[in-house]
Amino acid sequence: MFQPEQNVDEVVRSIAEETGTPTETVSRMYADTLAQFRTEARVFDYVPLFAAKKVRNELRDKKHHPH
């Protein structure tokens, strides 16, 4: 059964607000991560969810552990 992807703009806006990161940065990171996951995935149903989680975690880590 096909599950529609959550609206990308909503995901990006949510991550940007949660992490205090510009939406342009989040959008680029999300698109890159999504593309990477899609090349490696066998099942695509949860790829957008995993991509959003990875981007959110990376940005939170950067915020708490700046270089």
Domain span holding position 20: 8-64
Instruction: Give every CB contact of residue 37 below 8 A, 6+ residues apart in sequence.
Output: 47, 50, 51, 54
For residue 50, is it within any domain?
yes
For residue 3, is it within any domain?
no
For residue 28, is it within any domain?
yes
Per-residue pLDDT at 6: 62
For residue 34, is it within any domain?
yes
Q: What is the pLDDT of residues 14-56, one digit of tens each?
A: 999 999 999 999 999 999 999 999 998 888 889 999 999 999 9
For residue 41, is it within any domain?
yes
Per-residue pLDDT at 2: 40
For residue 2, is it within any domain?
no
Specify the number of domains making up the chain: 1
